[in-house]
Amino acid sequence: MKELLRSIPPIHELQNQPTFMQLSKKYDVDKTVMTSILRMAIEGLRNQIIAGDLEGSDITSRIWNQMELMLNRKNKSRLLPVINATGTILHTNLGRTRLSRDAINRVVEVASNYSNLEFDIDSGKRGSRHDIVEDLIKEVTGAEAAMVVNNNAAAVFFILNAFGKGKEVIVSRGQLVEIGGSFRISSIMEESGAKLVEVGTTNKTHLKDYKEALSDDTSMVLKVHTSNFKIVGFTEAVSTQQLVDLKQFQEDLIVYEDLGSGVLFDFTEAGIGEEPVVQKVLETGVDIVSFSGDKLLGGPQAGIIAGKKQYIDKLKKHQLARVLRVDKMSFAALEGTLQAYANKKAKDIPAVRDMLLSMEEVRERAMVFLDTVTSLNLFHWELVEVESMVGGGTMPEVKIPSIAVRVHTDTLSSQTLADELRKGTPSVVVRLQDQHVMLDFRTITQGEIPKIVEAFRKIELTYRD
């Protein structure tokens, strides 16, 4: 190993080799950048040698190969489209959702031009970006007022900071959730300066627990939608309506519900889950709710805050509103998405559409795929019934019946097959279940099918012999 490490030529020597200049010319990269890439290439090889992953000789040509790889990668985008064949509709690692065609068109239009982001066209005076989607949100939720921040985590922090800082906020122990490993209600609350008053137990919290915790220092009761887990069995939680009724004991008490995903389409009517639509929650008289733009709403990353005007007005004037403000492209996408709800065209939104696809519709997609792919004889194909997940920490208990194609080969392990599909262009991310590669067609569009067929064709060409 030491010998291998010693055989790495010094930088200045490599810089004087003709290959260095050739690569510099070929990729049109100047000497300074070339040298820093050279350093990284050497560093990478050194680590490989130390880890015992590299044997053999001719270190120099390995360095040039590594550099060429890095130079190739340098000009390629890092953020790439991926085909989600997992059947998980809100896939957090894969960007959560696809936007609707309308939303995408709105983004392209607004990003390609100047816009009236903060300009009132009627008066010619300065306008407010808060006005862009407020009326639409009011229309689809029935709220008195609304505003939008960067994401729902920001919304939670903002509301706690604006109304709970230095005061007490009451939360049920059953709702002190952690979402996605990086967002804990208790930590966010600590950061916000609000004092957490925990009530009840993990499985049961009663109205009297809240009532007894009320004090002169109480500013708010926070209800958190426990969206990424479900406690079953001997449980009891207090309804939003009951929390709202606590206001009779304390006049200035604010009742805030973090809805997590929040839905504007009533999935319960399609027999899916138990998520109440935002409008229904607001009808209880709750003061403020917040929810994500890119969970089941199917829009861009955003945190939507809706509720009583007196509170929303305060938030709009708060310093943090500037810190957490949303970009024009997000507003454009959000407007495009919300318009679909306002026009009763929620099924134009991919996340909503994929949730509602029937088994038969998914089966049709799978059949189109099978029709073209059966000519590839390296693989065995089988149509199977599976269950799709909603994902994104939403509706954890809900499993939607779906159709998948199960693939295996006699030569490749399922893991190798999954790796090959993932590393292809475009990357195809599959589900591995019972040691089989599964393509769940709930999240695969018609347009993606030829690309997946092509991915298998390439693998067949590589491994045929």
Ligand X SMILES: *Cc1c(COP(=O)(O)O)cnc(C)c1O
* Site for ligand X, rule CB under 6 A: 151-153, 156, 179, 183, 224-225, 227, 258, 260-261, 292, 303, 393
φ, ψ of residue 404 to 5 degrees: the values are -130, 160
Beta bridge partners of 289: 257, 306
Nearest distance, CB of residue 196 and ligand X, angstroms:
15
Q: Can you tell me the distance from the alpha carbon of 128 to that of 148, in angstroms, rounded to the nearest whole number?
A: 12
Nearest distance, CB of residue 333 and ligand X, angstroms:
14
CB-hemisphere CA count at 13 Å for 251? Answer: 0
Angle (CA) 265-269-272 rounded to 5° is: 85
Pair of tokens at residue 411: 């030569």
Nearest distance, CB of residue 224 and ligand X, angstroms:
5
Beta bridge partners of 187: none
| Position of minimal CB gap to ligand X | 260
Nearest distance, CB of residue 275 and ligand X, angstroms:
11
Nearer to ligand X, 24 or 290 (CB): 290
Nearest distance, CB of residue 222 and ligand X, angstroms:
11
Nearest distance, CB of residue 309 and ligand X, angstroms:
23
Name the 3-class secondary structure at 462. helix
Nearer to ligand X, 179 or 189 (CB): 179
Q: Can you tell me the distance from the alpha carbon of 63 to that of 151, in angstroms, rounded to the nearest whole number?
A: 43
Nearer to ligand X, 86 or 151 (CB): 151
φ, ψ of residue 236 to 5 degrees: the values are -155, 130
Distance (Å) of CA 382 to CA 179, 188, 431, 439, 444: 36, 47, 15, 10, 17
Nearest distance, CB of residue 253 and ligand X, angstroms:
21
CB-hemisphere CA count at 13 Å for 112? Answer: 6
Q: Can you tell me the distance from the alpha carbon of 261 to that of 412, in angstroms, rounded to the nearest whole number?
A: 39
Nearer to ligand X, 24 or 152 (CB): 152
Task: Find, among 236, 232, 296, 233, the residue nearest to 270 by Cα.
Answer: 296
Angle of helix 328-342 versus helix 101-112 axis, rounded to 10 = 150
Q: Can you tell me the distance from the alpha carbon of 442 to that of 445, in angstroms, rounded to the nearest whole number?
A: 8
Task: Find, among 452, 399, 397, the residue nearest to 430 by Cα.
Answer: 452
Nearest distance, CB of residue 82 and ligand X, angstroms:
19
Nearest distance, CB of residue 159 and ligand X, angstroms:
11
Nearest distance, CB of residue 168 and ligand X, angstroms:
20
Nearer to ligand X, 14 or 171 (CB): 171
Nearer to ligand X, 292 or 409 (CB): 292
Nearer to ligand X, 394 or 443 (CB): 394
Nearer to ligand X, 246 or 289 (CB): 289
Nearer to ligand X, 178 or 454 (CB): 178
Name the 3-class secondary structure at 348. helix
Task: Find, among 195, 118, 143, 190, the residue nearest to 312 by Cα.
Answer: 143
Nearer to ligand X, 260 or 307 (CB): 260
